[in-house]
Amino acid sequence: MHRFANPARFRRIADALLPWVGGAAAITLAVGIYLSLFVAPPDYQQGETVRIMFVHVPSAWMALFCYLVVAVASLVALVWKHPLAHIAAKSASPIGAAFTFLALFTGSLWGKPMWGTWWVWDARLTSMLLLFFLYLGHMALMNAFENPERGQKTAAVLALVGVVNLPIIKFSVDWWNTLHQPASVLRMGGPTIDASMLWPLLIMALGFKLYFVTVLLIRMKSELLAARARSLRQLAIQQASRP
């Protein structure tokens, strides 16, 4: 992995990948949205409201996946001192926070007609809200100290501690009696959802993941350019202060 530690090499790789990954994300999302809105049938109980699922469920999956990326990058940064790991964690965190907010928001839209309320303090919803706060805390700690390295290390520790919340989110509907329905796709014994809804859901999930990779590469490139600009400014200030 240290082969990719050189910022210039990483930017060259990112520049080569971005058109392909970005294009694949756009095509996959377009196909997924079309299948979700016009091909997938309405549910026999939920009616057209079920279409919220095609955004809500992939967003929830991505909220967990993005946090796992942040945690793994933080571990790599703390243990192996990989120079791009902190940048990867910092870049992934806002994307994960956006997916988490989207999952919570669409879940509320889904919950109102299904449960008769926008929000309940059950285990799944509360643990997802905690995940959103973990993202916010990670982003805040990254910029909370004058010394960037101190902020990066503190945020990395928080990210690793917060991993405990991921299995709680996943298994909360099995461990406790909640309003949230149990897993119907990622479960032992295979999916229980019909193929006419399963395929649009999986295509949307793939599109969201490709979108994440695209935005992550863009954000990492921006962070590297910002770091280089800061270094050049500091060098210019040092040179100007010399007699």
Per-residue pLDDT of 131-163, as tens digits, reads 999 999 999 999 888 788 899 999 999 999 999
Find all residues with CB under 8 Å of 94, minimum gap 6, and list them: 135, 139, 219
Res 186: pLDDT: 62
Cβ contacts of 147-154, under 8 Å, gap ≥ 24: 152/77, 152/86, 152/89, 152/90, 153/78
Q: In whole angstroms, how far apart are CA 26 and each of 128, 207, 212?
A: 27, 7, 12
Classify residue 168 as exposed, middle or buried by CB count within 10 Å of its CB (0-12, 13-18, 19+). middle
Tell which wins on pLDDT, 110 or 233.
Answer: 110
Q: Percent of the chain having pLDDT more than 90?
A: 57
Helix (H, G, I), strand (E, B) or coil at 112: helix
Round to whole Å and give the CA distance between 107 and 126.
12
Find all residues with CB under 8 Å of 193, minimum gap 6, and list them: 184, 185, 201
Chain segment 188-197, per-residue pLDDT in tens: 555 667 788 8
